[in-house]
Amino acid sequence: MTRTGSNGVGLGAGSAPAGPRRAAVRWGAAGAAVVATAALGLGGASAAMASPVVVIPVACSVISLHNAINFAPSDAILSLKPGCVYRLIAKLPNVTSNLTIQGNGDVITRFGGGTFTALTDNGAQLNINRLTMSDFHGNATSPGALNNNGGVVTITKSSFADNDGGWGGAILNNNGGNLSATSTNFVDNDALFGGAISNRNNSVAWLSTDIFADNAANTGGAIFITSGHVTVTGTGSSISSSTSFAGNDAISGYGGAIDNLGGTLAVTFTNFAENDADHDGGAVWNGGGASTIGSSGFTGNFADHDGGAIATTKSLSLSSDTISLNRANHSGGGIVVNGGTTSLNRTDVFANSAGNTGGGIRRNSGLVSLTNNSLVKLNRPNNCSGFFC
């Protein structure tokens, strides 16, 4: 196969007090402003007043959330009442000015059978904290939960579950968008391209200490990259602080966890386990620009064709990785190389298996180098084929 690349919320008004203080303006239930101040250090010099920060309490109703997003001033913080469930029958207003949605164990979910993307960021800075977005259904060209259309989106300690769409079951990062997700779970999302996330049109994503589990797509079971750059990383301090890809599935294509079709990819401190691809790259398929994978582990991944853990057609650098117990029905139980230069530095490839040849590594074209005591051993039916190791 050839691949190419209702209840309204009143607005309060507040003026900042004189002197070197930063004001926080809160909307009261009746629309009155409640002002809290905190002293700023001056360092012995006069300082310009910072702009007020508006904190808007949002009641447990969809119309309150709708109005808060629609009428919030720039840089406002929407403070959701703890433990609320907001059930949407239609999409929320687009975010067009800087906004923070501060959850506290809250859930935004779909009610009924509508087809829509829950929230779109049109070029603004959007922060989402401690929030679950679930059960949204996008169309064939949209994501389920969140469309970042050229904005800067930062997500922390949140969850995206049971969403589906065309491009990104949970999130589409598009049109030069900048996406950051930290300590966030992506579970049971489905799409045509990128079960959890699609990264398109020169967008950038930074994914740190996240969990990607049981997502599925035609290609790119968890993440699909057409262009731009994606960084996936953990802290490296422990297994629990690593990013994890487990049980993701490319049901008819490539990259059970990640399909990098046309971008660049940098992976560190990440674990890939039990991911499947119907074609090549049980965990990762790399066909974009020069990419790197370091200090990561691949265990129990499966490709129905080639590359039980990794399939690559472009330059790929592996450093301090462990690739073990992966399987391919045809060739390259650990890795299949179909072009570019693949370098293994302090990387072990062991106890992988292939149905035909290259139990550890199969080189069809391109170059493979093993340096700094990289080991390829105990693979079946052989360690390497297409080159000597």
Check pLDDT > 60 for residue 291. Answer: yes
Cα distances (Å, whole numbers) of residue 217 to 223, 236, 254: 9, 29, 10
| Over residues 204-211, mean pLDDT | 98
pLDDT at 240: 61
Hey, what are 162's tokens? 């049971």
Hey, what are 8's tokens? 């309204």
pLDDT at 195: 98
pLDDT at 163: 98
pLDDT tier at 2 (50, 70, 90 boundaries)? Answer: very low
CA 317 to chain centroid, in Å, comes to 22
Which is more confident, 389 or 237?
389
Check pLDDT > 70 for residue 28. Answer: no
Q: How many alpha carbons fall within 13 Å on the CB side of residue 71?
A: 18
Q: To which H or E segment does residue 349 belong? A: strand 348-350
Residue ranges in 5-117 assigned as alpha helix (H): 62-71
pLDDT at 47: 37
Check pLDDT > 70 for residue 175. Answer: yes
Hey, what are 298's tokens? 């691949």
For the chain, what's the residue count?
Answer: 389
Check pLDDT > 80 for residue 11. Answer: no
Residue 165 identity: G
pLDDT at 235: 84
Mean pLDDT, the chain, integer:
89
pLDDT at 52: 77
Check pLDDT > 70 for residue 312. Answer: yes
Which is more confident, 48 or 248?
248
Residue 226 identity: T
> Who's near 332: CB < 8 A, 6+ residues apart?
303, 306, 307, 308, 311, 354, 358, 361, 362
CA 2 to chain centroid, in Å, comes to 26
β 310-312/327-328 pair status: unpaired
Q: Is the dihedral of CA 77, 78, 84, 88 positive or negative?
A: negative
Cα distances (Å, whole numbers) of residue 86 to 106, 135, 261: 8, 12, 36
**pLDDT tens figures, 332-369:** 999 999 999 999 999 999 999 999 999 999 999 999 99
**pLDDT tens figures, 52-86:** 789 999 999 999 999 999 999 999 999 999 999 99
**Contact (Cβ atoms closer than 8 angstroms) between residue 84 and residue 57:** no
User: What's the predicted TM-score (pTM) here?
Assistant: 0.88
Burial string for 28-51 (b: 16+ CB within 10 Å, else e) reads eeeeebeeeeeeeeeeeeeeeeee
**Numbers of helices and strands, H then E, in the chain:** 1, 42
| Over residues 26-43, mean pLDDT | 30
Burial of 141 (0-12, 13-18, 19+ CB in 10 A): exposed
Instruction: Return the SS3 of 239.
Output: helix
| Over residues 137-165, mean pLDDT | 98
**Contact (Cβ atoms closer than 8 angstroms) between residue 124 and residue 150:** no
Cα–Cα distance for residue pair 307/342, rounded to 1 Å: 13
Q: To which H or E segment does residue 368 belong? A: strand 361-371
β 152-156/33-39 pair status: unpaired
Cα distances (Å, whole numbers) of residue 302 to 249, 260, 279, 308, 380: 10, 17, 10, 5, 14
